[in-house]
């Protein structure tokens, strides 16, 4: 056998042995030894001889956890699912959505996401920076929150046409949106 051919066989056998060693780590009570000697195969190159199973189980069908071993191959189990459940999922980041509709005629929806429960306050300012109205909602739970603003000041009077700013503040975040009131 030529030296190059022998070297390629040794490399192939070494790669195969490394693959088998990697596959030998089981996470169920069934261990690698349960399928050992089920159908031994040997490969020889020069003075190297490699022996391994060909994937047949010793005693037919074996079970461990949610899996079954038949003929050396894992069958069954449950399809994997990650982070799926019933009900709403808490957002990962704070987000203050633009009010809708904008421009506002009679009322507008204010929507925001809280990644964790937080103390929340909302305020309306005119273009000069003067506070027109303020709400302190206290501590709200994590998740999507929605409030309705009827385009009125703190005394309940309808705001005149113009540009206003809504500022939402939490324990850690702050967001501002420009709103146009057109009656």
Domain boundaries, the chain: 3-76, 95-181
Q: What confidence tens digit (pLDDT) does each residue in 32-53 have?
A: 444 444 444 555 556 655 555 4
Cα–Cα distances in angstroms (integers) from residue 113 to residues 7, 58, 102, 157, in the given order: 62, 57, 19, 29
Distance CA 82, CA 146 (A): 28
pTM: 0.53
Q: What confidence tens digit (pLDDT) does each residue in 79-98 have?
A: 555 555 666 677 889 999 99
Distance CA 56, CA 74 (A): 11
CATH topology of domain 95-181: Immunoglobulin-like (2.60.40)
Helix, strand, coil percentages for the chain (3-state, nearest 5) = 15, 45, 45
How is 55-106 classified by DSSP, letter by letter? S--SSS-EEETTEEEETTEEEE------S--SSPPPPSS-EEPPPBSSSBSS
pLDDT at position 46? 60
């Amino acid at each position: 056998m030529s030296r190059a051919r022998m070297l390629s066989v040794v490399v192939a056998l070494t790669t195969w042995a490394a693959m088998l060693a990697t596959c030998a780590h089981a996470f169920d009570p069934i261990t690698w030894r349960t399928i050992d000697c089920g159908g031994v195969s040997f490969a020889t190159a020069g003075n190297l001889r490699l022996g391994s199973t060909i994937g047949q189980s010793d005693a037919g069908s074996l079970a461990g956890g949610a899996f079954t071993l038949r003929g050396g191959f894992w069958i069954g189990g449950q399809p994997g699912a990650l982070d799926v459940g019933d009900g709403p999922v808490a957002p990962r980041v704070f987000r203050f959505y633009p009010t809708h509709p904008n421009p506002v005629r009679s009322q507008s929806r204010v929507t925001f996401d809280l990644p964790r429960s937080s103390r929340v306050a909302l305020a309306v300012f005119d273009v000069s920076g003067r506070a027109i109205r303020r709400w302190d909602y206290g501590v709200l739970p994590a998740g999507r929150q929605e409030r309705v603003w009827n385009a009125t000041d703190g005394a309940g009077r309808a705001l005149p046409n113009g540009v206003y700013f809504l500022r939402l503040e939490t324990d850690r975040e702050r967001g501002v949106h420009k709103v146009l009131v057109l009656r």
